[in-house]
Amino acid sequence: MVKSTSLALAVLAGLFATPAFAQDVPALKIYTYDGFAADWGPGPQLKAGFEAICNCTVDFIAADSSIGTLRRVQLEGATTEADLIVGLDTAIAGEARDTGLFAEHNFYFDNLTLPTGWTDKSFVPFDYAHFAFVYDSDKVANPPKSFEELIALPDDFKIVIQDPRSATPGLGLVLWIKAAYGDRAPEIWAGLKPHILTVTREWSESYNLFLEGEADMALSYTTSPAYHIVEEDDDTIKAALFEEGHFAQTEVAGVLKSSKHQELAFQFLDYLTSADAQKIIPTTNWMFPVIDLGYELNPAFGALPQPEKTLTLPDAEIEANTPAWIDEMLKAIQ
């Protein structure tokens, strides 16, 4: 009877202790975009990997785009439940930084493989690729080698692009053309107008139109062909390389000053740039890792042709002029 009573008390103690223990485990809340948090995206594997070492839980809270995550944090301000944002990019990093909502990190990056250096103290990079137009080589034998060659094609050669107000690739195209052509950007946009089949809200909409054969080319990334090679054993989808160079998108993550678990959030950033996390990125987010993975990088990425020239614009110039450049683009194509 004594043993039975002791056992019953031990079981009861365990039952009552479990919820208390669960409450003691911090929950790291991460705002990101829906593709990152999706079952097929990097989110679930990164969650499992970090939870295995952090004595915490990770909750990804998804918006429809990285721009959407920033807008949500701007609305919520210091009351946001998010500890950090994963998935902003360098095109909107300046605007994000100026909100004053992000804490500075103390990481030093001397082993990154980005096409440009990294000194930003508000955000940590975790993947990158160049914007590019993709095409089906079975249907397009001679892809254009510049925007001007694209413009010179017959009007029935169609492209699909994304809205720069809602999709980061769409904004990337605005910056790409501005970096390549400067004051000639309105002229380039006017030349592209007859070729634009439609401007979609998000990348997935336009890419699906391309895959369905509705357009000859879609605005995407130099890394997009890797998906078709790895997942479909299809090497017909290729990225057209333009002679004027390509604008790069680097995706970043940042910790919020209002985070209740700031130390844990910075630990997640450290994990995000580790080899264990970086080897998850390429074949789930279909971007290049920011560190050299050597033989652990899928060979499909090593075989992808890449631009000889990376175009850039200063953050301050992007932040000061983006609304005007978007208006310039919309006016030229409407």
Q: What is the per-residue pLDDT across 9-46, written as a single tens digit (0 to 9) for each? A: 333 334 334 444 445 899 999 999 999 999 999 999 99
State residue 62's pLDDT score. Answer: 94
One-letter-per-residue 3-state SS of the chain? CHHHHHHHHHHHHHHHHHHHHHHHCCEEEEEEEHHHHCCCCCHHHHHHHHHHHHCCEEEEEEECCHHHHHHHHHHHHHHCCCCEEEEEEHHHHHHHHHCCCECCCCCCCCCECCCCCCCCCCCEEEEEEEEEEEEECCCCCCCCCCHHHHHHCCCCCCEEEECCCCCHHHHHHHHHHHHHHHHHHHHHHHHHHHHEEEEECCHHHHHHHHHCCCCCEEEEECCHHHHHHHHHCCCCEEEECCCCCEEEEEEEEEEECCCCCHHHHHHHHHHHCCHHHHCCCHHHHCCEECECCHHHCCHHHHCCCCCCCEECCCHHHHHHHHHHHHHHHHHHHC
Q: State percent of the chain over pLDDT 90.
A: 83
Q: State percent of the chain over pLDDT 70.
A: 93
Least Cα distance to 246 among 184, 311, 312, 329 occurs for 311
The pTM assigned to this predicted structure is: 0.89
| CA separation for the pair 125, 110 (Å, rounded) | 13
How does pLDDT run across 219-269, given as a tens digit for each residue? 999 999 999 999 999 999 999 999 999 999 999 999 999 999 999 999 999
> Tokens representing 271?
């994990």
- The yes-or-no verdict on residue 113 having pLDDT over 70 is yes
What is the mean pLDDT of the segment spanning 170-189?
98
State residue 235's pLDDT score. Answer: 96
State residue 43's pLDDT score. Answer: 97
* Minimum mean pLDDT range among 89-98, 186-195, 230-239, 257-266: 89-98
What CA–CA distances, in Å, run from 291 to 110, 126, 279? 10, 9, 9
> Tokens representing 39?
């079952």
* Minimum mean pLDDT range among 45-49, 111-115, 207-211, 215-219: 111-115
Least Cα distance to 247 among 88, 130, 128, 93 occurs for 130
- The yes-or-no verdict on residue 61 having pLDDT over 90 is yes
- The yes-or-no verdict on residue 65 having pLDDT over 70 is yes
How does pLDDT run across 282-332, given as a tens digit for each residue? 999 999 999 999 999 999 999 999 999 999 999 889 989 999 999 999 999
